[in-house]
Structure formats: structure tokens, C-alpha cells
Amino acid sequence: FRLFCGKLRQDFPEAKIYILSLKPSPSRTKFWNEVNTLNFLLKEYCASNADFTYVDVASPMFNEKGEPQEDIFGPDRLHMNEKGYQLWTGIVRKAVLADCSCDTEN
């Protein structure tokens, strides 16, 4: 990941780079400890590199019981459905708009 980010910075020195957290999927709950660890490391990396912004799309995907919301996933319980992508769109849009002086009406 560090090598990849270094290559991005080399090839696109002016680019603002957003790193999205890994999402929880109901079909992959057995891997959530590893995903949590990786999300923590991604967040730490972004915090120490001003050109990178960590976007937490995972936390809002949990219900009040701390489980992934079933209604934002398709029948395979791995891939998101339209409702899931609408959730992500709002989160990512907010992060990008916080970094720019963009027209927030569109």
C-alpha cells in the first residue's frame, strides 16, 4: 500500500487522494477483525500524510446492534445494492466537498 501511494504521489503530485475504508459485508463477518485492523492502519497512514484523506464508509454501514445492515446488500450479502451505494455517495461527497470550494448544489 505504501509503495502504491508513493507511486500515486510521484505520478500525480498535485492530486488529493481519498482512501475509503473497507466495508463490512454480512457474508464476511469472520474477517471483520482483519478488516478492522486494516481500516485502523489506513486511517493512521492518512493521518500522517497530508495528501491523503481517510473516508470512513464502514461505520455508517452498521446497525444499532453493531452488525452490518442487511438492507444495503444484495442477495449474496457481499455486494452492496443501490441503497448501499447511495449511503456511500453521501459520505464520499461530504468528504470531497469539505476539501474544496465546490458548488454544493450539484
Determine the pLDDT at residue 83: 98
Determine the pLDDT at residue 101: 62
Determine the pLDDT at residue 53: 95
What does pLDDT average to in each consecutive run of 10 residues of the chain (106 residues)? 93 94 94 95 95 95 94 97 97 92 58
pTM recorded for the entire structure = 0.87
Q: How far is CA 68 from CA 38, 49, 62, 72, 102, in A?
A: 17, 30, 4, 9, 32
Determine the pLDDT at residue 39: 97
